[in-house]
Structure formats: structure tokens, C-alpha cells
Amino acid sequence: MPIYEFDCRACNQPFELMISFSRLGDAKCPKCGSANVHRLISTFAARTSKGSSTGGGCAGCASHNCSACTR
């Protein structure tokens, strides 16, 4: 099930919600309970493994964008 990002128009609280696409109309703000929410456009993120049990990247860089990390 995907995670969607929302912004509450009642209290201006941004939040994420794991909800099916068919139930997007049921989304409510966890802070104030308002159903007056706006779904935000967000980028796709996928969990990848580069052979490391720590979740990717190499020990030689902080940015995880070096040539060893992007192979």
C-alpha cells in the first residue's frame, strides 16, 4: 500500500498516510481530525540494496553519490 503526503487545510499540518488509492477520500488529519486535506505531489522513492546490510552507500563518502555507490 502506498504512502501519500497530505497538507491539512484546517490546521496547516503536513502529514503522511498509508492508504489505498480507492480510499483517498477517507483521509483525515491526525492532528485535528479534519477531512479538509489536500494531497501533495511527491516523488517516488524505492528501497534499493547495493550489497550492503546498512542500506546502501559506501563507507568512503557521506553523499552516497560517488562512483562506488552508483555502480
| Domains along the chain with CATH numbers | 3-39 (2.20.28)
Longest dimension (CA), the chain: 47
Residue 69 pLDDT greater than 80, yes or no: no
**Which comes out higher in pLDDT, residue 43 or 23?**
23
Label residue 29 exposed, middle or buried (CB < 10 Å: 0-12, 13-18, 19+). buried
Per-residue pLDDT reduced to its tens digit, 16-41: 999 999 999 999 999 999 999 999 99
**Contacts with 18 (C-beta within 8 Å, 6 or more apart), sequence order:** 1, 2, 3, 4
Sheet bearing 3-8, strands edge to edge: 14-18, 3-8, 37-39
Predicted TM-score (pTM) of this structure: 0.59
pLDDT band at 43 (very low <50, low <70, confident <90, very high): confident
